[in-house]
Amino acid sequence: MGAFYLTIFGFRGRPWIDRLIKVMIGVAFSVALLGILQHYATPGKIYGFRDASYAPSFGPYVNHNHFAGYMEMMTFLAIGYLLAAYPARRGKGDPVGKRILLGFMITVMIISLCLSLSRGGIISFIVASSFLIGMVWMKRRRRILPLVLLVLFLAPLFYLLWIGIGPFIDRLSTLKEWHATIGYRLEEWHGALQIIKNFPLFGTGLGTFMYIFPLYQRKAIPLICDHAENDYLEIFSDLGFVGGALFWGGIFFFVGYGIKKWLRRDHPYVVGVSIGGLAGVIAFLFHGLVDFNLRIPANAFHFFVLLGVVHNVFSLRDGKQKGMGSSPESVKFKGMGRRLFFVLSLVLTGVYILSITCNYAAERIISEVKKEYGDFFEYGTYPPEGFDEILSKLRKARALSPLYSLPHYFVARGYQQMASRRPSRRDAGSYLNRAAEAYGCALRLEPVNPWYHLGLGMVYLYQSKCDRAKRAFERAWRLAPKNRRLHFYLRRLMRERC
């Protein structure tokens, strides 16, 4: 939402809107080109070196569906910008070279969207394309319909036929198999509906779905269900009918108002850019029926920026004059206030970048340790030689990101494994105390994670504190009543030790 207001008040007037759109299209083209090159040159690796073979990645996104969510928005914005550059009358309009370059960039972006093999993204693109063509037809601008059709379908189709369209067709053919498309999603949607039923007014709070959902599972799912795979249901489960109605009501009111206003405008720039932006918004909203793009920070940011661009384009008169307000040059701070604002912005930006960098570094350390020594973190195994070095790496990850629960959890597991080496009773007790302390830190940061309660219960078992262990195991069971793997460990531990 902040990005929406920042765009509205920071990019008024056609020159500023133009600059913003060019940057957005340029970045999207670069991301699309990266995705295509990466797809053929280094499949399974992001930027050619970061391993992502564990997920269906594409471009810089670990999940190809989220790449498609970003690309569908930016592609329609670029198409709208191309329509704005197309002359309303012969002899006018932007230079031909600019239009050819835009057409090429759009073609590359559509090809990358198709190569991502995201069914939701491709269907959303087709739905928004139908909307765009229908609106242009209603506007009686039939001279540009061949251009729209060429850019949207023919150029990418020829390229896909040239490189081989088989994988694309095979992916779409899986839509016939309902269990492959919405199988596990149905379980998540059912859980979200039950959450909404139990918390109808104000929901459970933003970002709580992954913690609440296990309580509503009807059957086990071999995935980490951190989101509802439906933006609408997740917003209503998080915010209830009050917050959800305000959020979605505002967005759909804006879209409806924008369409109504678009039908009354005639200037090529306003008509082209606004309809492209609206088509991108509709593609994103349609995709939200089967995915959680709104929970991906980059996609959510671009979505609200796109809404702001559409708003500011409608505020233009004849494509030139400024609407309400003025350009950023008129927004100035004087004296100490201006310097204070600059310093505060710089500090906050630095803190944000530092926190992201530290979290990333901590995750990298944990990923490397899990990749090399993952088997030794399974319950019932013994640590290898040189485990002290592994524990040192995990402590470093914890120091880098002290407010992230996962490093605390793995440090606790490390201490727990050290105690399982059967050292002297005194050393084992020391390691178990440290493990309990680390589990406690992890639980303070993430109190509804069942695996943390399971680990703490195991420590209590090793310390012969059976009552505490049972309470921890009961919490783990209540938090994940359908998690078969967790229950396997619980039954085995209760049978063997209590």
Domain assignments of the chain as residue spans, ordered by start: 2-176+263-325, 362-497
pLDDT band, residue 233 (cuts 50/70/90): very high
pTM: 0.80
Average pLDDT estimate for 215-235: 81
- Residue 318 has a pLDDT of 63
Burial of 386 (0-12, 13-18, 19+ CB in 10 A): exposed
Q: Which amino acid is at 229?
A: E
Query: 20-59 burial by CB neighbour count: b if 16+ within 10 A, else e?
Result: bbeebbeebbebbbbbbebbeeeeeebeeeeebeeebbbb
Average pLDDT estimate for 178-185: 68
Tell me which CATH code domain 362-497 carries: 1.25.40.10
Residues 250 and 307: their CA atoms lie apart, in Å, by: 11
Contacts of residue 451, Cβ cutoff 8 Å, sequence gap at least 6:
409, 476, 486
Which of 101-105, 133-137, 181-185 bottoms out in mean pLDDT, i.e. has the lowest? 181-185
Average pLDDT estimate for 8-32: 91
Average pLDDT estimate for 478-498: 70
**Placement of tokens 């100490």 in the chain:** 336
* Maximal CA-CA distance, the chain: 90
Q: Answer with the residue of higher pLDDT: 201 or 466.
A: 201
**Token couple for 13:** 């007037």
Q: pLDDT digit string (tens) for 32-51?
A: 999 999 988 888 788 877 77
Average pLDDT estimate for 7-13: 83
8 A C-beta contact, residue 423 and residue 383? no
Which of 262-266, 270-274, 487-491 bottoms out in mean pLDDT, i.e. has the lowest? 487-491
Q: pLDDT digit string (tens) for 349-389?
A: 778 788 888 888 888 888 777 777 665 555 545 555 666 77
Q: Which residues pair with 317 in a beta bridge?
A: 321
